[in-house]
Structure 1
Amino acid sequence: MSDIPTPLAAPLVFGVYTGVKLDVEDPQSIPRAAQLGLEPPRYCGQCGRRMVVQVRPDGWSARCSRHGTVDSVELTQR
Structure 2
Amino acid sequence: MLRDLPTPLGAGVYNVYTGVQSDDPSGASLPTAAQLGLEPPRFCASCGRRMMVQVRPDGWWAKCARHGLADSTDLDTQR
Normalised to the residue count of structure 1, the TM-score between the two structures is 0.84
> 1:39 — aligned with what?
39
Q: Please identify which structure carries the higher helix content.
A: 2
Q: CA RMSD in A?
A: 1.4
> 2:62 — aligned with what?
62
Q: Is the Cα–Cα contact under 8 Å of residues 42 and 53 in structure 1 kept in the other structure?
A: yes
Q: Relative to structure 1, is the Cα distance of residues 41 and 64 closer, same or farther in structure 2, using a 3 angstrom cutoff?
A: same
Q: Relative to structure 1, is the Cα distance of residues 37 and 25 closer, same or farther in structure 2, using a 3 angstrom cutoff?
A: farther
- Spell out, residue by residue over 1:32-56, the C-alpha distance to the aligned partner (whole angstroms, 9 max, x if none): 1011111000000000000000000
Aligned partner of residue 38 in structure 1, secondary structure: coil
Q: Report the identity percentage.
A: 62
Aligned partner of residue 19 in structure 1, secondary structure: coil
Q: Is the Cα–Cα contact under 8 Å of residues 15 and 25 in structure 1 kept in the other structure?
A: no
Q: Runs of 5+ in structure 2 lacking a partner?
A: 1-5
Cα distance between partner residues in 2 of 1:64 and 1:25: 24
2:16 aligned with 1:9: no
Q: Runs of 5+ in structure 1 lacking a partner?
A: none
Runs of 4+ with deviation above 4 angstroms: none
> 2:51 — aligned with what?
51
What displacement does 1:17 show?
A: 0.4
> 1:22 — aligned with what?
22
> 1:72 — aligned with what?
72
